[in-house]
Structure formats: C-alpha cells, structure tokens
Chains A and B, each alone.
Chain A
Amino acid sequence: MTYAIEAEGLVKRFGATTALAGVDLAAPTGRVLGLLGPNGAGKTTAVRVLATLIRPDSGVARVSGFDVVRQAHEVRQLVALTGQYAALDEGLTGVQNLILVGRLLGLSRRDAKARAAALLARFGLSDAGGRRAKTYSGGMRRRLDLAVSLVGRPSVLYLDEPTTGLDPHSRNELWSIVRGLVADGATVLLTTQYMDEADQLADDIVVVDRGTVIATGTPDELKTRTGGQTLEIRPADPARIEDAADIVAALAGVRPVAEGGRLSAPVSDPALPAAVLRRLDDAAITVTELALRLPSLDDVFLSLTGHRAEEQGEPVAETVAGRA
C-alpha cells in the first residue's frame, strides 16, 4: 500500500501550549483518513503542518514522498486545503475568486474561466457566481471555499471541519462531493468533530486528544475494540414499554434505558436478542424496531477520552443507530 500522507513524531508548540506532542499518521493513497478529536486536540495544527503552512518543531511529514519542510514547493503542487474558516476574498465575486487561483496556478485566462464555471455549476453556485463573496451565506461560502481548493485538481485534499455550520442537506451534498473526489483517485484528510461524518466518509480514523494519537483503525475496528453491542427495541404500542423493559431486564440482567419510546440495553450474550424476541412474542408485544448495533464512534470517543466529543446540537448516536 502506498501512503499519500505520512507523518512521524510531529511536535508543534505555541509558547507554553503543546499543540502536537508527537503525532504519527498515515493516509493510504486514494482513501479518506478521518482525524477526529475535540476542540484544541491539535487537528488544525496537524493539517497546517501537512499543508506547509507551519513548520513542525520536530518530526517529519511527507506528502507523496515529498518532505513538507524541505520540499514544500512540490508539496504545494499536490495539495489543497479547505480551512476551518472559509478563506475567500470577500471583495471578489465567486467567479473572480476561482479565476484568481486558476491564474495563480498557471491556467490561461480562458481555461481559468472555464474551470470556474464548471466548479460553480458543480457546487450549485452558478447563479451566485457574479455576486461578491461578501453577500454569500455561510453554506455558500463553504462550498465556494471548497470549489476554490479544487481548481488545481489536487491529488491530496485537506478538509478541516468542512461541514461545521452546514445544514443537513448541505452536509450530505458535501459528503457526496468528497466521495466523488475519492472515486476520482484523490486522497482526503478530513478533520471533524462529528462522529457520524467520520463514520460516513472515513476509511481509516486517527483519534487525537491533547496533541497525542489515542487510537487508530477503521471505524469498525474502533467500534469493535470498544466492545459491547447494544440491543435496541421499539414496541409498537408505547403503553407496553414497561412490560418490554421487564422482559429485557430479566434476560439481560440489567435494566434497559428507555429513550424516545425505545429501549436499549448492552448485550454480552449473543443469544440474547433471539431470546428477547421470543419472550416478547409470548407476551404479545409487537416491535416495530429491533436492532443490534455496534457502538457509535461517539461511544468510542467517550470510552477513549473519558469525555464526549463536542456538543453538536444534534443526536449523532441516533443517526448511527438508525442505520444499524
């Protein structure tokens, strides 16, 4: 396997703060590496090192074999960065922002224009292309920012919390764009605080906390490592939820948690779901939902760091459970 991004022992200090305390990571070519961590974990710092914007105090990082410090120019020819905050020239229109970067990358005036038009169309911004970026909504800005990153057809793309502040629809759109890029062969390093985002997009995950890597693996590996599956049951008749809870409690040995008309209980015995279903049937309790799910990445994060990932105003665990 070749690695588009490799980093070993990255250390970066800002005064008394150690933003990176020896981070190792590797992103296989053509895949999505999710960099997960709470606020201040060092995600942005890692991305900035890999994008040649800051030099590490120690450690090495290579992009497609080029050293980010000694061969920064080569690295810059391969990578593009969509930062945590949209980096647009507010005084220019959407088209002009794209043309500016196209021209700087050596496209002819005409090619830069054509590329701009194509990208605007792809990001649903054709109508707004002639307006100054200042007038764009937050979601439009993020999309334009991503479009600008793609002008040079980068083979390695860094996305620093690309969907923060996007509505669910725009998030889904962005996810499918990322999948499209990966299908075209790009390698993506994605930082996020959204567990479901990492779950949806990332082939591999690196979890960082306080500048150190605390876990790596595929989403499934991480979930399995945390162990413990959860059984979820939703009785058709909400009135019978207590009866159902009694049955689960009797079989599982612990009282299930009731939340929103649904019961969930940890499973240690693989035979438990079948047994529960049988007893429910005997008691004439019909269920509309019965699922056995792996822990969500949120659970993983909790068990690894001892604290939850940042509050997101959205029940991520439920989204994951819904798909289980």
Chain B
Amino acid sequence: MASVAVPAGHRLAPWRAVQHCFTLAWRNLVQLKSNPGELAGFIIQPLVFIVLFVYVFGGAIAGTSGSYLQYVLPGLIAQSGVFSIMATGAGLNQDITNGVFDRLRSLPIARSAPLVGRTMGELVRFAASLVILLAFGMVIGFRVHTNPLEVAAGLLLVLAFGVGLAWVSMLIGLLARSATTVQLFSGVLMFPITFGSNVMVQTSTMPGWLQAWANVNPVSYLSTAVRGLLTGTPLGSSVWWSLGWSVLLTAVFAPLAIAAYRRKV
C-alpha cells in the first residue's frame, strides 16, 4: 500500500553520520560567527581574565606582574575548559526546550549526531580560545621555554580534559529542566574546581582543608602539567593524572549522558 518511493536502505552509511556531525558542528560555529556580541565575548573573556589576574592581582601575589604571568597563564589555559566547555550542556538544554532538538530528531539523520556534532563544535571553539589565550599571553610577555611538541602536548591534554567535561556538561543539560538550572548547577560546580586549585596561587598558601582539596583537584594536576609543558617547571606525575582524570570523566559520564540522551531520543 506504500505509494511513495522510499530511498533504498534504511541503515545510514557511516560517512553520512560523520557528515551529519560536521554539519551540526558547523551550526555551532556559525552561530558564533553570526552573533557579534557572543563573538566579542568569546574573544574578550579570556583576555579580561589575563588582564585581571596578571595586572590586578599579579603584583600582590607574585611580586611582579611579569613573573606572575609566567605562573598563571598555563593555569588559565588549563581552567578555561571548565568555563567554555561547561556551556555545552546549556546549549543542548536550550535546543530541547525550544524544539530544535525535536526537529533534528524528526529528520532521518544519525541518532547521535546532535550530541556528537555539538560537542565537536564546542571543542573547535575551545581550541580556538586556547590559541587566543596563549597568543595574547605571548604578546604581553609570556615566554615559552619548551619545544613546540611539548606545547602541542599541553594543549591536547587540555582538550582531552575538555572532552571529559563535555560529557559532564551534557549530562547536566539533558537532565535539567531549564537552561537556567543548567547554568546554576554548572556554576556551583565550576567555582570549587577552578578557584580551589593551583591555577592562581601555590596551594601551599592555602589553609589545610582547602589545600587537601586543591591537591587532588584534577584542575590542579592539569595546570601543573600545562605549566610544565609550556615553561619547563617540574611535571611530576601530573600528565598521567590529567590523562587519567580525562579518561575517568569520559568513562563515567559518557555512558550516563548517552543513557540520558537515549531516554529522550
């Protein structure tokens, strides 16, 4: 009784699924491009962070702003993922509330494409923001003391951690009732893991209880690793801890996020 010819084959070719992800990643990036306000914020926010920490607090914390820049920039690079990637879930949640998610689901595309595509887009944005941070830091006097390979390794480590965070963020975005809830919840998570770390100051200056937290905080490991890979300070086991955390976050939160997503799909 079917009177309409249907394109043959109901399974999607894998390359089509990849294409869907790229198209949806494009969507994320073009959103940024066609939104001058957001674009400006995207570029300016990291710069404001640097200026604030280096010039406002730098003298007080490290004696001179120059030496503080050397300390804090790798830390800011490490923690930027927490701020930038944590927006992934808010965007996803917004798609769900305003119906875009349903529109995508009603199309014959790969089921996972909305999730994967969005993450890909966010990671590209994130990578760009890392480059902006580093480049601006170098303009105002940050000096890299290692070889380009180590710098690349440092940035990749931050990206890997970003992937782990993206899963956490998506889980929040899928479970929360509104984008405001997502922001609130992400905010509550963000502050202890960014400020309660060695990103801005040595943990030895902190009271014992905070030090205990800051020393096991994954962001501390990551910032030690990036600092070492950019300026040659001792790495210890920080690279392995950072990688371990990234893998752990993905291993725990990817299945949870995918399960939450399946329930919606």
A interface, CB within 8 angstroms of B:
2-4, 29, 48, 51-53, 64-66, 71, 73-74, 76-81, 83, 85-93, 96, 100-101, 103-106, 132, 148, 152, 155
Q: Are A91 and B4 in contact (CB under 8 A)?
A: no
Tell me which residues across on chain B come within 8 A of A73, comparing CB atoms. 10-12, 108
Question: Within the assembled complex, what's the spacing in Å between the Cα atoms of A21 and B3?
Answer: 29
Q: Contacts A4-B3, A74-B10, A92-B27 hold; do A87 and B107 have CB atoms under 8 A apart?
A: no
Q: Contacts A53-B105, A96-B30, A105-B108 hold; do A83 and B99 have CB atoms under 8 A apart?
A: yes
Q: List 12 A-B contacts (CB under 8 A).
A: A48-B102, A66-B6, A73-B11, A83-B103, A89-B31, A89-B100, A90-B98, A91-B35, A96-B34, A100-B26, A104-B23, A105-B107
Question: Within the assembled complex, what's the spacing in Å between the Cα atoms of A2 and B11?
Answer: 26
Tell me which residues across on chain B come within 8 A of A52, comparing CB atoms. 105-106
Tell me which residues across on chain A come within 8 A of B109, comparing CB atoms. 104
Question: Within the assembled complex, what's the spacing in Å between the Cα atoms of A163 and B6?
Answer: 30
B139 at the A/B interface (Cβ < 8 Å)? no
Q: Are A93 and B34 in contact (CB under 8 A)?
A: yes
Q: Which of B110-152 contact A (CB under 8 A)?
A: 113
Tell me which residues across on chain A come within 8 A of B16, comparing CB atoms. 106
Question: Within the assembled complex, what's the spacing in Å between the Cα atoms of A96 and B33?
Answer: 12
Partner of B102, one of A53, A64, A66, A90: A53
B20 at the A/B interface (Cβ < 8 Å)? yes
Question: 8 additional contacts, CB 8 Å, given A74-B6, A85-B99, A86-B99?
Answer: A48-B102, A64-B2, A65-B2, A78-B6, A85-B98, A87-B102, A92-B27, A101-B103
Question: Within the assembled complex, what's the spacing in Å between the Cα atoms of A106 and B15?
Answer: 11
Partner of B34, one of A53, A71, A91, A101: A91
Q: Contacts A53-B102, A76-B108 hold; do A64 and B3 have CB atoms under 8 A apart?
A: yes
Q: Which of B3, B11, B113 has the most CB of A within 10 A?
A: B3
B contact residues, total (Cβ < 8 Å): 33
B14 at the A/B interface (Cβ < 8 Å)? no
Tell me which residues across on chain B come within 8 A of A53, comparing CB atoms. 102, 105-106
Q: Contacts A76-B108, A80-B106, A104-B20 hold; do A155 and B4 have CB atoms under 8 A apart?
A: yes
In the assembled complex, the CB of A290 is this many whole angstroms from the nearest CB of chain B, namely 46
Question: Within the assembled complex, what's the spacing in Å between the Cα atoms of A17 and B175?
Answer: 22
Tell me which residues across on chain A come within 8 A of B2, comparing CB atoms. 64-66
B207 at the A/B interface (Cβ < 8 Å)? no
Q: Contacts A29-B3, A74-B6, A104-B20 hold; do A81 and B103 have CB atoms under 8 A apart?
A: yes
B188 at the A/B interface (Cβ < 8 Å)? no
Question: Within the assembled complex, what's the spacing in Å between the Cα atoms of A10 and B109?
Answer: 26
Question: Within the assembled complex, what's the spacing in Å between the Cα atoms of A71 and B10?
Answer: 8
**What 3 pairs across the A-B complex have the smallest Cβ distances?**
A87-B99, A65-B2, A91-B31
Question: Within the assembled complex, what's the spacing in Å between the Cα atoms of A183 and B24?
Answer: 34
